[in-house]
Structure 1
């Protein structure tokens, strides 16, 4: 999983996104005063009136004991000799000088729920030819995990397309992730690009897995999509989703590829995409997120 969080507007910007949401100058709990529609099959996902927004949903659904923050490694929160326990493998790594030097001094963004309106872009085939690019880019921040392997240009050229978006990697999920993550950092660092390469704290991913497991997600591992939706719910005031659709047909019964860039399905038994999608539908119906699954134009 490679995660980009790129800023597209000043958080202070406020505008109307036609036929999708209210202007966000309204307080969260007054949003029901502004009618809106979402691109969801009629009768399947009723949008309940009342408060919406990820922060309110978290307050209603996570007790103080369960509450957590998106945790990344920085020099400010990491010390030499610290032991890192891997998230998905029975392995540990001790922080040495070379690892500590890789880490940025501090977080590149605020982590107090003030990123404004965010869009999480999944890789579902429903995104292909959807015409949603301009709507996605109207968000204050865009969170995505593009498939860089499918692009022929050199890595540095591909990365430059994302401006100053931090690149977040699960370096301590599996051993092979460590090798890849360190190689990416070593390749990009000498080029002095705007992006910072950041590493997830595996404790955060572990707690995230436990949280969703308590709520019925029993697959061996959460999908990258659900992880990033969780990140957005913690960092953003409003969360919109595009490209989340686990089926091989759309609402018009037209065939779809698994991803917008290929038709390769997930490894059998690793994720439970339909069940995760039902969770997203439930969150949408309660106003925690805005799930968009139709064409935008």
Structure 2
């Protein structure tokens, strides 16, 4: 994966890999190009070549009542997806430590009104993530560019310590090609498998929590909500969660990473 995708150096747009004025191709709209301005995250976003232990936290309902919070927070670096809630009772099960968090357009649009109105509630909601890196898909689709820019400007204007950065569409295209070569057929990779892929390059020991795309618990067989905080279903036109999970299960069986599916 490192030799084909180069996530450490290319996952995030920087001045080094995408100089100002570069023409880049949207990874979701292959024929559409954009010219980059200054990156919101000029230094290299990952100061360490590798972390010893990393936790990638999905948002699956399997985390409900899991008691995995302390184990997640014990990891040296914690990656989370799509601005999940971490407080008001969730701490015990999902932890609060965050080094990197993604923010997809759906969350930004539905939960925060695309930042077209008051912006302070959005910035206040980010406080739980501290000074973590926030990855935005600014160059996946044309509509996501102005939205991601509004997020970055809002964070700057209201002086949030969180650090906005943009996914590099070249990396996302390489990542999609890599997983296709491994037999994964999906219209578009989920944020979860993108972050697992990045963690495999950044971390020596990768642990996954909250990755279970099915409606019944694997051990207790009781019914689960889709997410640990709501029951909104995945759009199957874009993501193939069971197929992705099968790939992760294979990596678990090979000892490449560790899937946590029981209570902690």
Q: Paired residue for 2:7, among 44, 69, 76?
A: 69
2:35 maps to 1:94: yes
Which residue of structure 1 lines up, in the alignment, with residue 63 of structure 2? Answer: 127
- Relative to structure 2, which stretch is displaced further, 269-278 or 235-244? 269-278
Which residue of structure 2 lines up, in the alignment, with residue 231 of structure 1? Answer: 198
Cα distance change of structure 1 residues 168 and 214 upon mapping to structure 2, 3 Å threshold: same
2:70 maps to 1:103: no
2:168 maps to 1:201: yes
Which residue of structure 1 lines up, in the alignment, with residue 52 of structure 2? Answer: 116
Q: Paired residue for 1:175, among 136, 142, 145?
A: 142
CA contact (8 A) 1:172 1:178 kept: yes
Distance 1:116 1:247 in 2: 30
TM-score of the two chains, using structure 2 as the length reference? 0.81
Query: RMSD over aligned Cα, in angstroms?
Result: 2.0
CA contact (8 A) 2:185 2:243 kept: no
Which residue of structure 2 lines up, in the alignment, with residue 139 of structure 1? Answer: 75
CA contact (8 A) 1:75 1:103 kept: no
Distance 2:47 2:200 in 1: 14
Higher relative CO (Cα under 8 Å, sequence separation at least 6) belongs to 1
Structure label with greater radius of gyration: 1
Residues 172-202 of structure 1 deviation map (CA, whole Å, 9 limit, x = unaligned)? 0111221221110011102222221000110
Which residue of structure 1 lines up, in the alignment, with residue 23 of structure 2? Answer: 83
Which secondary structure does the structure 2 equivalent of 1:161 belong to?
helix
1:164 shift after superposition = 1.2
Unaligned runs of 5+ in 2: 86-106, 113-119
Which residue of structure 2 lines up, in the alignment, with residue 220 of structure 1? Answer: 187
CA contact (8 A) 1:88 1:174 kept: yes
Q: Paired residue for 1:245, among 199, 212, 228?
A: 212
Distance 1:219 1:206 in 2: 13
CA contact (8 A) 2:5 2:171 kept: no
1:111 shift after superposition = 5.7
Residues 235-263 of structure 1 deviation map (CA, whole Å, 9 limit, x = unaligned)? 11110000000100002110001111111
Distance 2:257 2:26 in 1: 30
Q: Paired residue for 2:229, among 238, 261, 278?
A: 261
Which secondary structure does the structure 1 equivalent of 2:7 belong to?
coil
1:67 shift after superposition = 5.0
Distance 1:281 1:82 in 2: 38
Distance 1:88 1:283 in 2: 27
Unaligned runs of 5+ in 1: 1-57
Aligned length: 229
